[in-house]
Structure 1
């Protein structure tokens, strides 16, 4: 499940966006159009195909 928020909301509510990544990616929009994806590092590693980093 993805969450959507404007880039302006993201600037003011970064912690809420971080918490929302537990449920999946957060789609950041500009002028109503998707522009960025904010996701947790573990999900990024899965997408990048590198697995979970032990560091």
Structure 2
């Protein structure tokens, strides 16, 4: 199975745009987070990886 999160992360990763500080803490219930990871739906992949790369924790 293709890991869509890895592919998205690699497309975002760039030394010039790496986050330099934490932005905000995002709280998700474990079941919701797990379902988003396992489903690998495009909108979830984009939202989660972009949020993490922007510096959210």
* TM-score w.r.t. length of structure 2: 0.25
Higher strand share: 1
Higher helix share: 2
Structure of greater relative contact order (alpha carbons < 8 Å, 6+ residues apart): 2
